[in-house]
Structure 1
Amino acid sequence: MKKIQLSDGMPTDIQRQNLNVNNIELLEKVKKLCVESDLSYVEINKALYLADKELYTQLLQAIVGSKEQNKEAKTRDYLSLSEKHRSN
């Protein structure tokens, strides 16, 4: 089974200066929503964990789905070529 890389090789202690503008904007939005939610730290942490889990699952499903679509497209191309070859 092929190993899935779960990180981009960055250190586990990521600093703000290591992030690009889009990452920083997302960070600020998430922090703002967490503060506005009035949830406890534990509740916020649970929500963030579940959001991360769901996003990760969606990403894996998209990867698997695209691989299956590629296989189906290759099969269709092969069958199409076979039909053309037979008709000649």
Structure 2
Amino acid sequence: MANSDPLSELEAHVQRAFSRAFPGTVIDEDSDFFDLGGESIKAVQIAAAMEGTLGVPVHPSALIQNPTVADFAQALNAARALSDARKS
């Protein structure tokens, strides 16, 4: 299924990062990092995974402040747009 919506694609990447951090857990857009049992090491793992995907710095605090998959994807999308604007 090809999806050209950048936010939806980013949300799918975030879902995969959450799934790797919380194996065996069903992850959807409303999944909350804290409700899943999130802790600092998992925040670092997810932030690092997203930094690798996006190629822009991602601090774990972005996840702490935006703990659901959907909110974190929106925050990352905004950070990516800001980074792109600075490059132009």
Please confirm whether the aligned pair reaches a TM-score higher than 0.5, indicating the same fold.
no
Question: Structure 1 length as normaliser, TM-score?
Answer: 0.31
Whichever of the two has the greater Rg, that structure is: 1
Query: Which has the larger share of helix?
Result: 1
